Structure 1
Amino acid sequence: MSNSKRPGSQGWVIGRAAGAPIILTPTWGLAAVVLTLVFAPTVDAWAPRLGAGSYVVAFGFVVLLFGSVLVHELAHGLVARARGQHVEEFALTVWGGHTTFSRPAPTAATSALVAVVGPLANLALALVFWLAAQTAPAGGLLALLLFAGAISNGFVGLFNLVPGLPLDGGQILQAGVWQVTGDRHKGAVAAGWAGRVVAIGVLVWALVVPVAQGRQGDLFSVVWAALIGAFLWSGASAAIASGRTGRSLDRLTVESVGRRATWVSADATLADVDRARGLAQVDEVVVLSPDGRPAAYVDQAASAAVPPAHRAVTPVTAVAVVIPVGAVVDARLRGADLVRAVGQVTRASGVVAAVQDGRVTAIVRAADVIAALRS
């Protein structure tokens, strides 16, 4: 699976590829133990004389399986890097693995291509293992491992192509909807709902199919189906929420979160401020420095406290709050770019000036941006 903007994984760095670390997370150990215990009886039935050695062979299969998962993730990362994306990490986890990118794919075509190469890599490995198994001595442990590698890679490849997030097939579906509608986030919501259907289908398969075939369901299969279904449901729900949030984020503009403003020079008085407000029909006023830079904004409460009789002689600097150098954003920014820009400049000031074509158009407060995101 491929993801973007998720926190860095904790674990052991076992190598690097495409400029990113390959991380073995602690949860991989849990998966390795469980899968070894699951596969050991099969090995024991195939070669009963091994005894405890069957667990060693089973662990070898687990290593082989996670090696296949790593190939899957490397395929994502290498193609993404070739398409101009920055890869942050490859991680092996209890659920297999994930590849993290610093930003989402720039186009629907890139998103689909990056998603599809992972499953295709597994299907290619399945073919290689299958062909190799044909040349191995029949009935031997090598043949068992090669057949297991073929089957597991085939399953991983085909299952990941199922069209529902968080599976790679869901990424492909999202890219398709994005390409048709021009809306990335609509694609995420659609693929997220498809993922929920897949999650329910996994559980139904474990519960209903055995009954329909007239046999009793296996508790182990049901538990695993429930865990996988819960994982898929969680990922699909997160995709739906992310898509809805992303659509709201795209609607953010300086006009929607900022407060329209006009400007006065640094030598103006409050009477000049009143006239400027009236002419522009705005409440906010920015004070420009002699070089034309937004240097401060008028504190409305402090300005209102000055009596009318004193406004013609009170300098605007007496009620102005300094805007640090660089606390300016382009008024044409929108969505994530606007949030990112405001976040960067508001480290020094909670208020920034929005400027377009060298002219102050608005004041943007970080608190207003945060409130808009929360709503």
Structure 2
Amino acid sequence: MIEMKNRLKDIKRYLWDVLLFSGIGCFSYFLLVYYADIPSQYQDRLMTFQAFSAVVVLFNGVGLSVKYINEKLMMYYQFFLKNHRMLSIGLITAAIILFISNYLLLVSTKLLIESPHPFMLKDKGLYVMLTVWFIELIIVGQFMLNRFYVDLVKLYKRAEELEEKTAQARYMALQNQLNPHFLFNSLNTLISEIEYNPMNAIEFTRNLADTYRYILYCQDKHTIPLREELDFLNTYILLQKVRLGDCLNINNTIDEKYWDVPIPPLTLQLLIENVIKHNIISLSKPMEVKLTTEVRDKEVWLSVSNPIKLKQGVASSGKGLMNLSQRYKLLCNRELIIENNKNKFVIKVPLLYE
């Protein structure tokens, strides 16, 4: 229901845009034909349905293209919030495009009537074109200002929501590592290692401390370079291997050129923890998790896949994946891709480019 309302709102907004661009185009064409340096004997002949249709197509093509580019930039709210000059750049770009569109419109009209000097502007033609351009700037400028501040309010709201979701993710990560079951297992493992392998006990304690340190390190960050997430994942896996044995392996084939691309903090840890929680992992049934990248629709996605060996009676709250999905939605307006074919479970998350 909400999705349908949003779609209807988008359609309504699109129709208003088409109406605005069509009105500006027809208004400009009318003034340029009757008040620029077009000979009077040709003016009425240029007022045809076909001519106005071509003008409507031209102005809508230009206007909707600029709008599309702006919306693509708006998806990456951090880029937009850090670059308040976007409004000025947008207005200057719109002014240049409108000027070129008006000039091409006037030149095309002169070419149709076979004017001897179609690319030259006489004083009257230049004056009228600049007047039309100035009026268009006022209309489009007011329109862009209104849209800018409406979108800016939405972006700040998204930033607040992202802050809340990030805080929830940190809380869940700490809660998972501080719950009695985890601490009980960790302390038992530590006691056992102290007794039988003191050097391993030191390493285990260091990894346990690094786990908490990283979670606290992420507390003020919305994104983390993939490189740091991979380093932390190695620490987390070493911690789990002491408890589970050498039966959990990560097969990382991510190209190093993506290692500096940002992702939400604790993404990999959450996904691997999900694998450990829901699957049987033992020396007789080892688990290999594959980390890869793939390109879908010209976008790079990080893929985490594992064979399915489900534990019996383990219920899933889904809170972790839901939180991660909401953070991605706020950061880049993208959904997680989840594939489950009964033999293999795959989660794909988009890599972010600020």
Normalising by the smaller structure, the TM-score range is: 0.3 to 0.5
Structure with greater helix percent:
2
Structure 1 length as normaliser, TM-score?
Answer: 0.35
Bigger RCO of structures 1 and 2 (CA < 8 A, at least 6 apart):
2
Structure 2 length as normaliser, TM-score?
Answer: 0.36
Structure with greater strand percent:
1
